[in-house]
Amino acid sequence: MSDPVQSPVFVGRREEIASLTALLERAASGEPGFAIVAGEAGVGKTRLVTELAGHAADSGITVLAGHCVELGAEGLLLAPLIDALRTLAGDRQEAGRGIRQAYALASGIGAAPIADEATALARRTRLSLDEPDADADAGRPAPEDPLARFGLTEREREILVLLAAGRSNPQIAGALFISPKTASVHVSNILAKLGVASRVEAAAVAHRLGVTG
């Protein structure tokens, strides 16, 4: 079977894209809101949302994407939103701005679990939820990253913090919405990168470097 053909030009759905664009513009002006795009499989939901995301990105708006929990997999209802927040952890400046916006929005609409996750993510990545003082920060050197020399990924850094707190693989998996097997693989990679032979030694390294969440 050949791959599905998708036109590079968005056709139709004028009313839907107009409604979503209006919602996007209100959000950009500081008015929070949400929309549910629903319909049968194959009617073009993903194409519609992709078009809107492209429009938002072209307008300088940060676009986050979370992935649904697979059928039969364990996970919380808010896992896709939490997954979206974690995509902010790459660029620290952009991450700080995005996490602050996510926290403010979640707090404004009473979404406590998302606000709590934004707070936890800011703590793990050492980002502040307070607006930065541009004058105070001007010319100030960036703080040294104690883990830089080990080459840990953002996910491995998250797991190291939990490992240092004494979490087991199942507990790590539950906290990060991954499987225990995936958590085990990450822990093994962390031990190899840190050059240690046990979880206890890895935790000791994290504590010595002050990486404890």
CATH number of the CATH domain containing 161 = 1.10.10.10
> Residue 70 domain-assigned?
no
pLDDT at 175 over 70: yes
Model pLDDT, residue 119: 80
Both 161 and 122 in a single domain? no
Same domain, residue pair 157 and 202: yes
Question: 142 lies in a domain?
Answer: no
Higher-pLDDT residue of 101 and 171 is 171
Same domain, yes or no: 123 and 158: no
Q: Does 3 fall in a domain? A: no
Task: Output the pLDDT for position 9.
Answer: 47
pLDDT value, residue 91: 55
Q: Residue 187 — pLDDT band, cuts 50, 70, 90?
A: very high
Contacts 24+ apart (CB under 8 A), 195-204: 199/163, 202/160, 202/163, 202/164, 203/163, 203/164, 203/166
Q: Which range marks the domain in which residue 102 is found?
A: 79-130
Average pLDDT of the segment spanning 103-115: 78
Q: Is the predicted pLDDT of residue 13 greater than 60, yes or no?
A: yes
In a domain, 7, yes or no: no
Identify whether 172 is part of a domain: yes
At 139, the pLDDT band (50, 70, 90 cuts) reads very low
What is the number of domains present in the chain?
Answer: 3
The residue that leads in pLDDT, 108 or 201, is 201
Q: Which residue has the higher pLDDT, 18 or 121?
A: 18
Confidence category of residue 14, pLDDT binned at 50, 70, 90: confident
Q: How confident is the model at residue 181 (pLDDT cuts 50, 70, 90)?
A: confident
pLDDT tier, 68 (very low <50, low <70, confident <90, very high otherwise): low
Do both 155 and 124 map to the same domain?
no
Q: What is the pLDDT of the chain when averaged over all its residues?
A: 74
Residues 109 and 154 in one domain: no
Is 19 part of any domain?
yes
Q: Is 144 exposed, middle or buried (0-12, 13-18, 19+ CB in 10 A)?
A: exposed
Decide if 211 contacts 171 (C-beta within 8 A).
no
Contacts of residues 91-95 at CB distance under 8 Å and 24 or more positions apart, as own/partner, are: 92/125, 92/127, 94/62, 95/125, 95/127
Report if residue 205 sits inside a domain. yes
Separation between Cα atoms, residue 170 and residue 95, nearest integer Å: 28
